[in-house]
Amino acid sequence: MANRREFIRISSLGLGGMALAGGSLSLVKGSEVIESLFQSQLSDRQRQRVPTYCEICFWKCAGWVYFNEDGKIKKIEGNDNDLNCNGRLCPRGTGGVGMYYDPDRLKTPLIRTEERGRQTFREASWDEALSYIAEKMQKIAREHGPECVALFTHGSGGKYFGDLLKATGSTNIAAPSFAQCRGPREVAFIYTFGESIDSPENTDIRDTRCLVLIGSHIGENMHNGQVQEMSDAIDRGATIITVDPRYSTAASKSKYWLPIKPATDIALLLAWIHVIIFEELYDRDYVERYTVGFEQLKEHVRNKTPEWAYGITTIKPHIIRETAREMGNASPAVIVHPGRHVTWYGDDTQRSRSIAILNALLGSWGRRGGFYRNANYELPSFPHPEFPEPKRTWREAFPGKYNLATTVLANGVCDATIPSADRSCNFKGWIVCGTNLIETLPNQKNTIEAIQNLELLAVIDTMPMEITGWADVVLPECTYLERYDSIRTGQARLPQIALRMPASEPLYDSKPSWWIAKELAKKLGLQAYFDYDTIEDLLDWQLRQIGSSLEEMQRIGVKTFERDADDLYFADGEAIEFNTSSGKIELYSPDFEAEGFDPLPNYTPHEEPPEGFYRLNYGRGPAHTFSRTANNANLTDIMEENSLWVNPKVASQWGIRNDQYVWLRNQDDITSKFPIKVRVTERIRWDSVYMVHGFGHDQKRLTRCYGKGASDTELISRVLVDPIMGGTGMRGNFVTFVLEDPAAIAADT
Amino acid sequence: MRYAMAVDTRKCVGCSDCVVACQTENNVPIGYCRDWVVEVVDGTFPQLEIEIRSERCNHCENAPCVRCCPTGASHYSDGGTVLVNSRKCIGCGACIASCPYDARYPHPDGYPDKCTFCLTNRVQKGLKPACVAVCPTKCLYFGDLEDPNSDVSRVLKVRKWKTLIPEAGTKPHLYFLI
């Protein structure tokens, strides 16, 4: 293919001299000059601190940015009134300054060009870059329809591009946070309780008497409020039960650690349900009052005894019984945690359903110490013309499939970008904002093949992540510390809003997403949808509708409201109408049945690793978010590379020493680009290995993290798709060790 | 007044937030730290235990670093806090060598640096040290041991605790709740 995209390693040649060589005026100005100007615009109060909410992860904790004597950003601390963080940011939020100061940041718009047969980026002005994107978008709209452009987004900036896309007539707005992360649990809880979990989770951990974690590694995932409340629960003597093939940090805080054989969780859950029903440990009144399908469930699990599960899970029957009794004794102040990243084996919605059913039996939904009822707060939208009705959506690419998916599948859009004769529309343009799709979507070969078929790939990011190397146009977004964004709303125990305002003028020639989207809208003749001069006008208008103002929010950062009613938990005997087909909690799901899926969850065996191979498990480290923080100096100081956890028995079989670097090869013969340091540890089973996600970057411009550690994503080539909602199960990949440098071996032969 | 800190090893998840907060609060250069996290794994699969400790200078009552400092740069300050006066320091490195806890690092500007309990920049302004204020698990307790109502006095009264290398005779004031 003549114009096949090459991955451009944004090189030091292209960008290194930019601070001097850049064409636009703002590049010539030193950042210090800009900052001192900015400081002079701030009031005395704001020169002390300005409010923000964090963008390093999705928890969006509210905080304050403080300055040095010379007006430069010094540190970020949590806002005491924020319900998400209670004044305490996590290491990533505290280290947010490292994102702002990162010398490797994207600094100016870039356009792909060809020089002497080699593809490279050239620096461009904003006007030129946005015109380029607008022309491509219009061409795609003309030739294929506007709905052939899709948006992939993670984080705050995506809202504005979402509005832009809707204005063009496309609703194909995908967030990997659904089908690559928490989608299965949302669908499972919707079809059990009539509500999704969403974020932050409504788990009442601080008041629980028993917390059950199934592969959920709170403490290694720094979901701030959850970590804080788990600590409170430890103080209050709550029982923690952790199910994990790895002795996680949470497992080390637990009364019970169940080192389950990977991929057998549903068997354990069914056995727990069996014990809770047949030992009559369930909340009888709650089950009678609120649920349907109990008798069918009871019949369904009649034979699912702990002895049955023992052979599958390797968890001893008496431990299954004891832990079930712990849950029963704590009921209803018990949480079988729904987890967050739950796309594991392709039957994840059914596993999440088992979890939902267990919670229903224990009467924990809507109860103190179980799941509280969210208070939500929404702001009125700024007036704009109605969005046009899209002519087609992504769903038409998958007739009859994934009907229960509640949002766009990122992997679905990716798949439907690869041309196929049986589809009327293939995606032709992607706008990617704040998500490094190469490290986000499994099966990289598929992702890259899709990209090769695009007429437009525009990437908005703060850092030269791998996805930027495939882009036609790269737009440098300023960091969250340099911009306003939408007011943070959402769910919590109390309704609350939070403001993010700039603590600095954008460094280099970077811009906030709201500005980029609005300017792009102008080029597309869609400015009516962004009918405000600046985002301050928009935010102030919104805030005034609810009796606040931008000025007030600049002063206080977060504002908390009263709940409409005193209904954090169900009242005794309260009549509740659940948002399900029957109006009850559905233990048995007629909706699943109608779609051709098991109305009650079943355990099905999964493939096991062949001889000499080990299941590849992955998770989070507390100092990093996905792959996006891997280059942050404050956070690489804490963790600069991932390591591979290997059981000592396995290590001795292979003669692998602690701290030795090895390469990994998976079942599809894909070898990791970079070696990974082995951590020989008793903390993991012998049938699996484990690494923290987000390392092994091969974009050289990420100078701190280039080549550090290995990427789990590149080894996840086999995807176990959940037939119910299209989630991409990613824990069905097996790896073996390669002890010699594969590049050297290849050179020899 | 006798400042001390207690670390609840049962709550600490080892996230190193204390390290990052100290770094930004105290302008600790990238690549260095005044506090750090130690994780000790004990046992064999599946009978395992982990102790996680956020460690830093022990602000010893009988501090070898103060005793061996030839210029008085290392000294006791308010509440027994051990501080370094970088202007008096000749960079001999004796204090770094003498510390049984390895709590000091050579700052690139040519003097030893270490935890100050955030004495002048926070504690004397009525704030808690940066690591204590930021900790998401609230596993760090700080205060005056001579005040029976301080956070640290109260928690040491009700919990079992230990200190590190007590046999060195340094009388450390960093306590680990076990």
Q: Do B134 and A78 touch (CB under 8 A)?
A: yes
Q: Do B23 and A253 touch (CB under 8 A)?
A: no
Is A732 in the same domain as A590?
no
Is A620 in the same domain as A590?
no
Is A223 in the same domain as A366?
yes
Closest CA in chain A for residue B130:
A77
Q: Do B24 and A634 touch (CB under 8 A)?
A: yes
A75, A222, A683: residue with CB nearest B25: A75
Tell whether B168 is within 8 A of chain A (Cβ): no
What spatial distance separates the first Cα and last Cα of chain A, rounded to whole Å? 29
**Largest Cα–Cα distance in chain A?**
76
Which residue in A548, A721, A742 sits closest to A661, CA to CA?
A742
Is A217 in the same domain as A247?
yes
**Rounded mean pLDDT of chain A?**
93
**Residue A739 sits in a domain of what CATH number?**
2.40.40.20
- The residue range of the domain holding B153 is 3-177
- pLDDT, one tens digit per residue, over A577-622 is 999 999 999 999 999 999 999 999 999 999 999 999 999 999 999 9
**Residue A358 sits in a domain of what CATH number?**
3.40.228.10
Is A279 in the same domain as A366?
yes
Is A647 in the same domain as A697?
yes
Closest CA in chain A for residue B17:
A91
Pairing of strands A173-174, A614-619: unpaired
User: How much of chain A, in percent, has pLDDT values that exceed 70?
Assistant: 94
Please give the pLDDT value at position A35: 46
Which range is least confidently modeled, A111-120, A287-296, A496-505, B46-55? Answer: A111-120
Tell whether A658 is within 8 A of chain B (Cβ): no
Q: Do B136 and A231 touch (CB under 8 A)?
A: yes
* Domain end (from A564, A594, A624): A594
Q: Cβ contacts (< 8 Å) between A76 and chain B: which residues? A: 24
Total domains, chain B: 1
- pLDDT, one tens digit per residue, over A400-420 is 999 999 999 999 999 999 998
- pLDDT, one tens digit per residue, over A8-35 is 765 533 333 333 333 333 333 333 444 4
Please give the pLDDT value at position A9: 67
- The residue range of the domain holding A674 is 614-748
Is A661 in the same domain as A586?
no
Q: Cβ contacts (< 8 Å) between A228 and chain B: which residues? A: 136-138
Q: Is residue A400 part of a domain?
A: no
> Phi and psi at residue B21, in whole multiples of 5°?
-65, -40
Tell whether B154 is within 8 A of chain A (Cβ): no
Give residue A548's identity as a one-letter amino acid code.
Answer: S
CB A499 within 8 A of CB A487: yes
Residue A150, H or E segment: strand A149-153
Q: Is residue A296 part of a domain?
A: yes
Cβ-Cβ contacts under 8 Å between A and B: the total is 120
Q: Is residue A442 part of a domain?
A: no
Closest CA in chain A for residue B35:
A638
Q: Do A222 and B44 touch (CB under 8 A)?
A: no
Is A710 in the same domain as A588?
no
What spatial distance separates the first Cα and last Cα of chain B, rounded to whole Å? 25
Tell whether A634 is within 8 A of chain B (Cβ): yes
Q: Is residue A14 part of a domain?
A: no
Tell whether A692 is within 8 A of chain B (Cβ): no
Give residue A329's identity as a one-letter amino acid code.
Answer: N
What are the DSSP E strand ranges found in A178-312?
210-214, 239-243, 256-258, 291-292
Q: Do B134 and A77 touch (CB under 8 A)?
A: yes
* Domain end (from A594, A625, A643): A594
Complete DSSP assignment for A537-551? HHHHHHHHHTT--HH
Closest CA in chain B for residue A682:
B45
Residues of B (26-85) whose Cβ lies below 8 Å from A: 27, 30-31, 33, 41, 43-46, 48-50, 52
Q: Span A701-723, mean pLDDT?
A: 97
Q: Give the C-alpha separation, B23 to B30, whole Å.
A: 8
Q: Give the C-alpha separation, A373 to B59, whole Å.
A: 47
Q: Give the C-alpha separation, B60 to A642, whole Å.
A: 36
Q: Do A227 and B15 touch (CB under 8 A)?
A: yes
Q: Is residue A549 part of a domain?
A: no
Is A232 in the same domain as A270?
yes
- Rounded to two decimals, the ipTM of the complex is 0.96
Is A661 in the same domain as A589?
no
| Per-residue pLDDT at A438 exceeds 80 | yes
| Per-residue pLDDT at B169 exceeds 80 | yes
The CA distance from A92 to the nearest CA of chain B, in Å, is: 8
- pLDDT, one tens digit per residue, over A218-264 is 999 999 999 999 999 999 999 999 999 999 999 999 999 999 999 99
Q: Is residue A131 part of a domain?
A: no
B31, B48, B134: residue with CB nearest A94: B134
CB A269 within 8 A of CB A304: no
Is A264 in the same domain as A297?
yes
The CA distance from B21 to the nearest CA of chain A, in Å, is: 6
Is A585 in the same domain as A734?
no
- Which of A75, A80, A85 is the mutation pick for testing B, counting most B CBs within 10 A? A75
Residue A121, H or E segment: strand A118-123
| Per-residue pLDDT at A1 exceeds 90 | no
Total domains, chain A: 2
Q: Confidence band (pLDDT; 50, 70, 90) for A89?
A: very high
**Residue B133 sits in a domain of what CATH number?**
3.30.70.20
What is the 8-class DSSP label of residue A386?
P
Tell whether A222 is within 8 A of chain B (Cβ): yes
